[in-house]
Chain A
Amino acid sequence: MIQSEPQSSHLKRLSRWKIIVALLFFTLILAIIFSVAIGPMQISPIDVYTILTKNIPIIGNLVESGASNIETEVVLQVRLPRVFAAAIVGVALACAGVVLQGLLRNPMADPYVLGISAGASLGASLAIAFGFGISFLGFLYAIPFMAFIGALGTIFIVYSISSRSGGSSMLTLLLIGIAANSFLSAIVALVQLISSEVLHGIVFWILGSLQVSGWNHVFVASPLILIGICIIYFYARDLNMLAFGETQAKHLGVDAESLNKRMLVCASLITAAAVSISGIIGFIGLIIPHITRLLVGPDHRILIPSSALLGAIVLILCDTLARTIMSPAEIPVGIITSLLGCPFFVYLLLKKKSSFGKWH
């Protein structure tokens, strides 16, 4: 193993990590509590929390809820699933970003760089344009399903082309991913052109939104995302070694090729799951990993959990803004994440210029 540090500093670092994760987790809970309490409908925070606690077993019996049925429905069936959807999508995008930046050893990489976004957009566009919802899959969830298929199909094709070409695989993969992105985006534009009655829909889907997220979305996407992240976390140490380059990693006993493949599959699966329920939300997957790296350092063992938590926090807060500031209309959340996040990122970058130099 590469660590040759004394035991005491190792322990110190471990306890620092525990504190970071605990703090972020606490902030996440606060963000959830905060964002379920606000929305276009006026419900007093006290009512919101009695509704919430009422539904916790055992404790619930001790609480008297004076809220009306509609208020209960809004909190439990509209706001809460949406907050959880934001959390799970944030977790997925941030983690996938960390993995792809690590695998491709490229700070510009994000979960969409290999064509997943364009593939998902194409799937969703086809579903929207041809109204697959009507005759296909019994109406519900045609769009998320098609987006998922589009995303996975694209990554599969990109990967098989690049592995057939041989050579320095990660760079080839990146370039083919970029080509696939442009190619599929062009097809999406063509679909938009031909079916412009629903042009609106495709445009807004691509901008990303959690507008229609319900419990079913959360229940379908969460297991996939959480399992994917657990597997990724299991390989955190190997990802650290990959940062020295594939040859170096091989010397350190890491099977770079199979690691690449496994991580790619996990990152693609969690991105596809996230994208299929939220559309293409930008910024989170690119910049949350960088911000986290600035805050906690480049070690994947802390970077992965911290990015996941920070991604969830940021997306929950941005979505809260998206659904409230222009109420009753909503703003696609991707606009908010980029508008607020990018200046903050540049600020952090300038402030901690030195530590960003240690990118890998």
Chain B
Amino acid sequence: MVNKKKVIIAIIAIAIIIGGLWGGIVWHQSLQSEELNAPLTIVDGVGRTVTITNYPDRIVSIAPSCTEILFALDLQEKVVGAPTYSGYSSEIQEKISSGEITTVGSFSQISIETIVSLDPDLILAKGGYQLSTAERLVELGKTVVIVIHQGFDGLLSDILLVGEITGQNEEAETFVGDMESRAQEIVEKTKDLTKPRVYVEYYFNGGFGSYGSNSVVDELISMAGGVNVFTGFSGQYLETSTEEILKANPEIIIISKGAMSELCGLISQTIRDRPSWDATNAVQENQIYEIDENLITVAGPRIIDGLEELAKILHPELFPNR
């Protein structure tokens, strides 16, 4: 019977179509996480549009500052890979040395293979040099979000962005709110005071390594109520000379203590012993201080501590309890 056959075929066809649709809907729904109703579309630090369909469970950070932001937002359980970095807080350092977090290389030498082998659902990278590494990861179909930490405010919005894409909005807002109010307090307190001229050195080898106006250090000094003596130099780092120092005549000299300063044995005595440097106000008044470079040079969440430290050095009168 031709008709019967046709009917059976029609029924089967309808069943397949309905089944397919139903399966498709179920499958589509299973793709959506319970936490996220609609895919989230954000624009990252370099202007790329990134769509997040699920809050990530396996995050790889390829820049130290990104690792710090993730930890600050209580995401340490979800971080599966991070680069090595000597300046991490001990909490991060432990997780890495215990192997809970896999090392994916160093900031400049990232192993693509290690990252892929971790099967991450979100990769956080920093702009600048890491662009080419990030490009490769994008090409491999990974979800990559690039941040650039442009200044203090840029850092705050980066933290909010990371909070948004990881479902830690509240933590991020609280954290950023706290940073803002702490920064605001210092700016308010110091804005009408006289601004001391500050020279920060992190390295010497013939010339003296300091920071120009493009650096976070420069911004922090001005927020803390001082003036970086090399704020007129538009680069981030510069190498300078004794003559420039004498011309600038800093009132406060700060040693940015870290790997670089240790390498050349830079301590306050070194500065005092330099010929002719005793002509500067800072050496005469013995205004030579040290600060942990990780607090003032890495554009991460600890920068607010760096700002407070700087303010204490620049304006000790504001912090009598110290």
Chain A contacts to B: CB under 8 angstroms: 39-41, 70, 73-74, 77-79, 128, 131, 133-135, 139-143, 193-201, 204-205, 211-214, 216, 323, 327-332
* Contact count A vs B, C-beta below 8 Å: 116
Given A128-B129, A131-B128, A195-B235, A40 contacting B109 (CB threshold 8 A): no
Partner of B128, one of A142, A201, A205, A213: A201
Interface locus among B136-144, B192-200, B244-252, B269-277? B136-144
Residues of B close to A79: CB separation below 8 A: 113
**In the complex, are the beta carbons of A40 and B111 less than 8 A apart?**
yes
Interface residue? B56 (CB, 8 A): no
Which has the most chain B C-beta neighbours within 10 Å: A193, A200, A329? A329
Name the residue on B nearest A194 (C-beta). B235
CB contacts (< 8 Å) of B110 on chain A: these are 211, 330
Binding site for A on B (CB under 8 A): 46-48, 84, 102-114, 116-117, 119, 127-133, 135-136, 138-140, 214, 234-237
Q: A131-B46, A212-B136 given as contacts; is B111 within 8 A of A327 (CB)?
A: yes
Partner of B129, one of A77, A134, A198: A198
Expressed in whole angstroms, the Cα–Cα distance for A333 and B118 within the complex equals 24
* Residue in chain B with minimal CB distance to A216: B139
Which of B104, B119, B128, B139 meets A197, CB within 8 Å? B128
Query: Across the interface, do A327 and B236 meet the contact criterion of CB distance under 8 Å?
Result: no
Residues of B within 8 A of A134 (CB): 46-47, 127, 131
Cα–Cα distance between A70 and B112 once the two chains are bound (Å): 13
Contacting pair A331 B109 (CB below 8 A): yes
Chain B nearest CB from A243 CB (Å) reads: 40
Cβ contacts A to B, 24 pairs, < 8 Å = A40-B117, A70-B117, A73-B116, A74-B113, A77-B140, A78-B116, A128-B131, A131-B131, A139-B46, A139-B135, A140-B138, A143-B131, A193-B235, A194-B235, A195-B235, A197-B128, A197-B236, A201-B128, A211-B109, A211-B112, A211-B133, A329-B103, A329-B105, A331-B109
The CA of A330 and the CA of B104, in the complex, are separated in Å by: 10
CA distance A196 to B109 in the complex (A): 17
On chain B, the residues within 8 Å of A330 by CB distance are 105, 109-111
Complexed CA–CA distance, A39 and B112 (Å): 11
Cα(A205)–Cα(B136), bound, Å: 15
Using Cβ atoms and an 8 Å threshold, which residues of chain B touch A197?
128, 214, 236
CB-nearest residue of chain A to B84: A329
Complex: how many Å from CA A200 to CA B64? Answer: 15
In the complex, the answer to whether B129 meets A328 with C-beta atoms within 8 Å is: no
